[in-house]
Every structure is written in structure tokens, then in C-alpha cells.
Structure 1
């Protein structure tokens, strides 16, 4: 009997990393592929054993669910199902009870994934569990905009952030994670753009501090509710700069994050892998919860290097195998590097004079693992470069 793991979006480096984490341990990897995807490089990994085609989960979630069920019914054992981006997590949460009949999934209460991704509901959960979060103001209607503006100036000040309740839908429309408001006019314009696209947003306090004051707590809570693995990390750079995803991040032990993060997740009865992002306030030195990622992280290749192979841990846990424990209580200085995106980030930091070239060069001297390139699995890296060259040529000569 072959035990399998079905992974969404292996074509992109997050899913690719999950496939490598499992494939290197002789787990049968099934890539669930959306036919309309333009990104293909990850599909050239040698660690894919099988492929299944599914329709886009955002366009037709019911059909995607039916396709997954049809595949699972043909298997001798329930496969593990791994969502790798927020839309897939929303899809899994929508059909969670039904999918559990056919797939291995953490024993988490239906709706909790969505609550943690929804910024309004996350704020409620954080407040209920005494976790420090940035101050939030809910905008009034356009008729009462003056009242909102006065409240912003009085309670949180400028600059501040206009953030979406649903991040990935906002990014899909505006190609950025949030709007930055430096004055009252910026708030009026930001709210107007969001209302025009029917995007639900809120205004949030900006926690002072450079990007290296962003930290993460990454952990695994087993099916019985025991926290078995954790590590903490400190961002060095991200893209888009100041408000983006990690492009260069290092492992750094921060005991305070372990205490805050583990208490929060255990109190809400969470199961499986989670990543909590914090920012350390430059003014008071306190850690503020920014967001919770309930999907696989973009740097689980770094976690694998540290002995916390989260896809494999989940696979074993849900298949009733022993998973042991691993807690990183030291600074290893090992970095995760998303080279291509980090180059864009570096250009942005240099352009805005937030970093100097000597500092950037010095930072790259540390031991690191790369997001896409791997010596034991080179084809995805080669095809990634070829895709970028093809894209450049198309833009260059199609004008």
C-alpha cells in the first residue's frame, strides 16, 4: 500500500519545496496542477511521482472538490493534502469536513483557518487571548469620513496602513499588499479605491522599525494538541520592500516569541503547521502580532535544514507514525535566500537608501539555502532561468 501526499501548486517554489521535503524521504508525491498556470518550472522536479489535473479552485471550487474526491476514491489509503497558498487554504476550509472523508488533514475545527487569515477575526482572537496587535480603526461610511480621519489622527497617527481583510484577493486586484497613508488625503484615496473594487479594508497602526525587526515563529502542533517542533526567525529583507514576503531570512532564537506564539496557538486549539509573523516596535521593544500563515511557509527548505521538515512531520503524524520533537534553542545563522526576488528587493532598498551595498554584500556571506536551486534537483532552477529569459525576450520584441 503506497501512502501519498497531494500538493497544490508544485509549479511554484513553495509547493516545490514541499515536494522536495517529502520526495527526499521517499514519500510518493502527487502534484495537483491547475491547467491555466503560466509558471511551470517547479513541475520539472524529479520528486514528482504522479500528476493530477484540477480546475482553478477560485473559478470553480465545487468542480475542484469533485476532482479531488474522484482521485482519492481510487487510492488504497487516504493521501495527505497540502495547501501551499491562501486560496488553497480557503478552499480546504470550505470543504474541510467533506475532504476529511478522503484525505489526511489536521484535526482542526472548520472555520479556524479562515478566521486566522481574516484580519478582522484575527484581531478578535488576538485580543481574546491577550496578544499584542497593532491598533485598528474600522472606517466609517464615506458620509462620515471626517470622523474616521479625526480618529486616525487622534489614536494612531501618520503614517498608517490601509489593509485588506482578505489579503490574497486584494493583492490580485491591486498588485500590492496594502496602501500606505501619510496624510488624510491618502486615506480618502485609499478607501475610495478599495470601495470601488468592493474590497473590505481597515486602517491599522504602523509599527515603527526597519524590515529586520520582522520576526516569525514557526511550529508544528501534533494531532493530539502537543507542540512538538518550533524555531524562530528574523527577516533581513523582503519584497516588496517594507511590506512583503521574506526574500532573505535567518534563523535566530527569540525565547519571547516562543512564549507568545505557542500560548496563542494552543489556546485557540490549533493543529498542524503554523507561522506567526511579529514586528518588534522600535519605540517600546514589544512584539506585535502582524499575521498568521496557516499554510506551508515559503522557507520550509530552511526548516528542513534545521531538522524540522514540516511536510514530512505532518505526513508521519497523520499516518500515526512517531515524529519526535525538535526545538531550536540557538542561533545557527543559516539563511533562506530567494535569489531572484531578493535582487529586486536589494535594488529597492538601495534606491531608497535604506541599505548600503557593502552591508548587502556582507549579509550574503552567511551559509544559506536557496528557494529554487538545489544540486540534487537542478532542473527546476534551470527551467526557472529559461522562463525568465523567455519572458524578457517576449517583452523586448513584442512592442
Structure 2
């Protein structure tokens, strides 16, 4: 049965971070655009892969700095809404956009369509400390963590901590000149922690978390979309095969794998907290105690969401648009065994993983199908634009990340 999307209601990709090579936004433009939905996007400039997509009706170049007041961002969104000329479904691709939409629902109401949630919930979920507290409140396992308020607290922690440990910024997006760490950072020694912490300022603004060793763990992901009553419209589970930087970064290669236990855990948690909309969860199954431990909760579309699709052709972005436009979301099981590859980062990740000798449990021997993040026969320009922007600066960036990981610090970029 074909999906009957409302072609009179456009979609708008909303992003405030500076990350022009974002395959998730391109995936969302293609997903709804192939159904005939007019698609618009906020882009850093006119020469991003998203702006090059044949399925994009119009790009709105808007390079934000991270220092704008929220009211200015809301005004900018409203100006874009007036240019579109009719209410559009908002699809945030970063935490700042998701939080802004939730916290300014009244101002955006009538101009856009978006899930209604407790205005403070997305910020709390995106915050590492807020998520840790919610997990404790609702009985969801998460790695033991410390929240130092000073360098002295870090010194005390380093005296008893079991290394390696993981450092993350407490807040998902940091409105200051330089965040404490650039994504998830693995720290292997006490000396390494103390050296890094000298530059973190007061208060440090980080969470220090137990590192779950890859030899005893499995990386799982959950992508889903929930209706206004926190009931799942589409629910997907999968395993992360490779990431870049290795073992701590953005998904480079993943498989869709059925995991009813994990799906039930995620659905119960969402019901308890009353969330509505799209989620992207990162969990690590700890074989030492048999628990799925929640590492990250992204209250928005994940970059690798196109890994997942039901037998009816529904992904989380399509489910959101159908639900917000009053259409029925077709039922269907997820297409298990599908593989997702992010071309520009999977090759270096593959080389790094082969050196480490690590293999991912549960990954099928053969995929049932492969979805490429960038290359699409019906929409080739985003791939070519990615290559043009990536080759020189991207290769240099990958090399810098690799050198960092060899020194004992591994970072995870947003997405």
C-alpha cells in the first residue's frame, strides 16, 4: 500500500550548528521529497549537499554562530515561515533546534507543525546530567557518572576512578567560545585526565563517566517516532558496526537488527517521561551485568535514520509528517538486515577496526539491502557536493581525529 502523504504541507529542515556535511538532513529531504512533499532547509550556505538535492524546493542560507539570543532564532524561523507561505512540519537535526522549538511553542504555533511536549523536557534529555537524573528517576540503567564542580573535584575523582573514563560536555550544545571537550572523549590515564582538565575552566562543565569496554559490550541504537500520547508510531532497533572516530563517534556503518527487549525498554521509558516526536538513542549492552545502558538521548532525528524502514516504507521522518498532518501511519515490521554506510567516514573506520581486531556481534553475514548516506541514483548532486567540500579539509580533519585517538583521547562529533 503506497504512503499517502499530504503534499500541501511542506517540511522544513531546521539546524543551528555549523556542520554543512550532514547526511541526515539530505536523507530527510529525499525521504519526504520522494513522496511529493515540498521540502525546505536551513543551510550554512547555498553550496551544501542539502542545498544541492533535487528534492529541495528552496534553501534558506543562515549561518548561526551559537551566540544568538533564542528570541532572534525564533524571529528568523518566523521569517522563513512567512517566505514558505503555509505551515510546514519542523524537522530539527540538532539539539539546539529541538530545544528551541520546544521552549517557544507558543510563538511558533500557527506558523509551523511540530510535536507538543513539556517545554523543558528536550533540554533535560539533551543534557548529560539531566538524562542521568531521568534514568535514575525511572529505573533506566546508565553508566556510573560524576559531575565535578571544580578542578579539585576532578583531582579527587581521578584518585579513585577506574580508567579509562569518558568525558562529555554536560550540555548538548554549549553557548560559549570553546566547549570543554569536542564530543565524547575517552581518557586512558589519571595523568591524562588531570592534564586535560586544566583547560576546562571553573566550573568544568563536564560529566565523567565509566567507560564500558568494547570487549564486554555491544553498541545498539533505537530510532522511533511517538504520537501525542507517547505511543510508538514507528519503532526501530539496530547495531552500530563502526563509528568515526573509532568506538566513540558518529555512526559510519550499522545494521537494522530486531531487538524486542530493547524496543520495549525504550517504549516504556518514553511513556514514563511523556515524550512526543522523533528520538535517537545510543545504548551499550554491558555483558558483565546483562543491562542496556543509555548513553545518549537525542530528542530529534538521528543522522542515520534512513537505516530504518518498515515493510510499508515508513521511516521516522515520514511517520512524523503523516502524524502531524492527520494521516494514518501504515503499520509494518522493520526491514531487518538493512545496512547503512556513510561513505566519507566508513573507509577510515574500517581500517581502524581491522587493526583493533574488533567485530560487532549480531551483525548479519549478508545485508538484506544497503542504504548509502550520500550516493543516490535519483539524486546525485549531494554526493558530488559532499566530495567537493570534504576531500581536502575532511581528510585533514580525519587525520587530526585519528592522531587524537592514538594519544588516548577519542572524540565524538555531533550527530
1:56 aligns with 2:60: no
The Cα RMSD (Å) is 3.1
Q: How far apart, in 2, do the equivalents of 1:282 and 1:209 lie?
A: 10
Change (3 A) 1:393 1:256: closer
1:206 match: 211
Q: Once the 2 structures are TM-superposed, how far is the Cα of residue 134 of structure 1 from its aligned partner?
A: 0.6
Structure 1: which 5+ runs fail to align?
Answer: none
Greater CA deviation, 302-311 or 240-249? 302-311
2:272 match: 267
1:104 aligns with 2:113: yes
Q: Once the 2 structures are TM-superposed, how far is the Cα of residue 212 of structure 1 from its aligned partner?
A: 7.4
Q: Once the 2 structures are TM-superposed, how far is the Cα of residue 251 of structure 1 from its aligned partner?
A: 0.7
1:180 aligns with 2:186: yes
CA contact (8 A) 2:168 2:181 kept: no
1:290 aligns with 2:295: yes
Q: Is the partner of 1:194 in helix, strand or coil?
A: coil
2:402 match: none
1:385 aligns with 2:382: no
2:36 match: 26
Q: Is the partner of 1:332 in helix, strand or coil?
A: coil
Q: After superposition, what is the alpha-carbon deviation per residue over 1:150-171, rounded to whole angstroms, capped at 9, x for unaligned?
A: 4x43xxx222222221245499
Q: Is the partner of 2:240 in helix, strand or coil?
A: strand
1:314 match: 320
Query: Whose relative contact order is higher, 1 or 2, with alpha carbons under 8 Å and at least 6 apart?
Result: 2
Q: Once the 2 structures are TM-superposed, how far is the Cα of residue 55 of structure 1 from its aligned partner?
A: 4.7
Q: Is the partner of 2:388 in helix, strand or coil?
A: helix
CA contact (8 A) 1:238 1:248 kept: yes
Q: Is the partner of 1:110 in helix, strand or coil?
A: coil
Greater CA deviation, 284-293 or 334-343? 284-293
CA contact (8 A) 1:208 1:282 kept: no
CA contact (8 A) 2:14 2:97 kept: yes
Q: Is the partner of 1:220 in helix, strand or coil?
A: strand
Q: After superposition, what is the alpha-carbon deviation per residue over 1:30-81, rounded to whole angstroms, capped at 9, x for unaligned?
A: 122234x8x6123111001123343516243433321221232455532111
Q: How far apart, in 2, do the equivalents of 1:394 and 1:282 lie?
A: 36
Q: Is the partner of 1:326 in helix, strand or coil?
A: coil
Greater CA deviation, 45-54 or 254-263? 45-54
1:114 match: 123
Q: 1:41 aligns with which of 27, 45, 49?
A: 49
CA contact (8 A) 1:212 1:235 kept: no
- Of Structure 1 and Structure 2, the greater helix share is in 1
Q: How far apart, in 2, do the equivalents of 1:222 and 1:145 lie?
A: 42
Q: Is the partner of 1:301 in helix, strand or coil?
A: helix
1:350 match: 354
What TM-score comes out, normalization by structure 2 length?
A: 0.82
Change (3 A) 1:209 1:50: same
Q: Once the 2 structures are TM-superposed, how far is the Cα of residue 258 of structure 1 from its aligned partner?
A: 1.1
Q: Is the partner of 1:134 in helix, strand or coil?
A: coil
1:12 aligns with 2:16: no
Q: How far apart, in 1, do the equivalents of 2:98 and 2:65 lie?
A: 10
What TM-score comes out, normalization by structure 1 length?
A: 0.85
Change (3 A) 1:313 1:349: same
Q: How far apart, in 2, do the equivalents of 1:79 and 1:287 lie?
A: 37
CA contact (8 A) 1:221 1:227 kept: yes
Q: How far apart, in 1, do the equivalents of 2:358 and 2:251 lie?
A: 16
Q: 1:234 aligns with which of 227, 231, 239?
A: 239
1:129 aligns with 2:138: yes
Q: After superposition, what is the alpha-carbon deviation per residue over 1:260-290, rounded to whole angstroms, capped at 9, x for unaligned?
A: 1110011100001112211011322321111
CA contact (8 A) 2:43 2:60 kept: yes
Q: Is the partner of 2:289 in helix, strand or coil?
A: coil
